[in-house]
Structure 1
Amino acid sequence: MNNLAASAGTRPIDLDDTDHGIIALLRADGRMPYRAIARELGITEATVRARVRRLEESNTMRVVAVTDIEAAGYGMLLAIGVQVENRDPEAVATDLAAIAEVFSVNVVVGSHDIEILVVTEDAGSLSELLMATLGSVPGVRRLTPALAMDVLKNQPDWVPFHDA
């Protein structure tokens, strides 16, 4: 049996081969119907439904939709380092997180106070985003953008899931 620690407030649950099978199938296709999972694993649909509910309620697993940024119309992906001045980095990060084009915000230690990931449709919207939107957030001292030229790995379905 595997023991996977869940997030705070929930107890770890033991995972058996059925749980691992369900997780593997849902990682491959998060929209796979319970009936198809049941057929694939040789169990009942009710068992799949109960197991998925148990896995979700214990915070062991969560099925989420992931957007393909190119399919959504965004042609540019940027990592941007943000230096903060005269304001708490957490407050600046909160303001940055409210901007639609920003999809990841991290307060960090290093040459920047915050690192963000943003998407834009094209170079014109990039200029507008950098100068007018991000640059006008109170406390932003300097933006250091790095344009992704070739995305070699983007694994949105990756999670730290280890067999013990």
Structure 2
Amino acid sequence: MSEQIAEGKIDHIDKKILEIMQDNAKTPYSQIASQLGISEATVHLRIRKLVNAGIIKRFQAVVDPEKVGKRVTAIIAVVAIPQKYSQVLKQLEKMPEVYEIFDVTGEYSTILKVRVKNKEELAKLIDEIGNIDGVENTKTMYVLRVIKEDTRIKIE
């Protein structure tokens, strides 16, 4: 089984375990075993192999950003000078308000997902990003409401 996982191939039991764990990573191994008709030891071994193979990257709580004071979400598109792009990315990675960074094709170099307390903090962050050496310009889209946001990966 470890050879299959190393190649990124997982069987139907691994897929079911991943689906259950994505819905609730605190699901007891005994409950997973019962649902899948396998032993608790098998569940434990399979999860450990999925972690070791890097398929499960980490276990974490999904926190509601608004309930912890991050009431403003924005998408910021950044155009960077190609020769300074890697330095720009390094600076963006250091910013705690930047939650996701996407290297994209098209007219922008990168797309950011940011979360801040309020619009004043957003204005400050936009200025900070615009002042990074190598950033030519930015375009900010203020998120009015989130229609769908899912951290789970569909496993086929």
Matching residue of 2:79? 83
Are the structure 2 counterparts of residues 28 and 83 from structure 1 closer, same or farther at C-alpha, using a change threshold of 3 Å?
same
- Alignment deviations for residues 117-146 of structure 1 (CA, whole Å, 9 cap, x no partner): 111111121121112x21221112211100
Gaps of at least 5 residues in structure 1 are: none
Superposition deviation, residue 63 in structure 1:
4.5
Q: As a proportion of its length, which structure holds more helix?
A: 2
Are the structure 2 counterparts of residues 14 and 81 from structure 1 closer, same or farther at C-alpha, using a change threshold of 3 Å?
closer
Aligned residue identity for 2:121: S
Give TM-score scaled by structure 2 length: 0.83
Whether the aligned pair in 2 keeps the contact of 1:89 and 1:107 (CA below 8 Å) is no
Gaps of at least 5 residues in structure 2 are: none
Q: Which whole-Å CA distance do the structure 2 matches of 1:97 and 1:142 have between them?
A: 18
- Alignment deviations for residues 17-43 of structure 1 (CA, whole Å, 9 cap, x no partner): x32332221122112121222233333
Aligned residue identity for 2:155: F
1:6-155 alignment, distance < 5 Å:
10-16=6-12, 18-65=13-60, 66-85=62-81, 87-131=83-127, 133-155=128-150
Q: Which whole-Å CA distance do the structure 2 matches of 1:160 and 1:28 have between them?
A: 11
Relative CO higher for 1 or 2, CA cutoff 8 Å, sep ≥ 6?
A: 2
- Alignment deviations for residues 42-100 of structure 1 (CA, whole Å, 9 cap, x no partner): 33221110111122223344443233322332111111111223742122112111100
**Percent identity over paired residues:** 24
User: What's the Cα RMSD here?
Assistant: 2.2
| Paired residues, number | 152
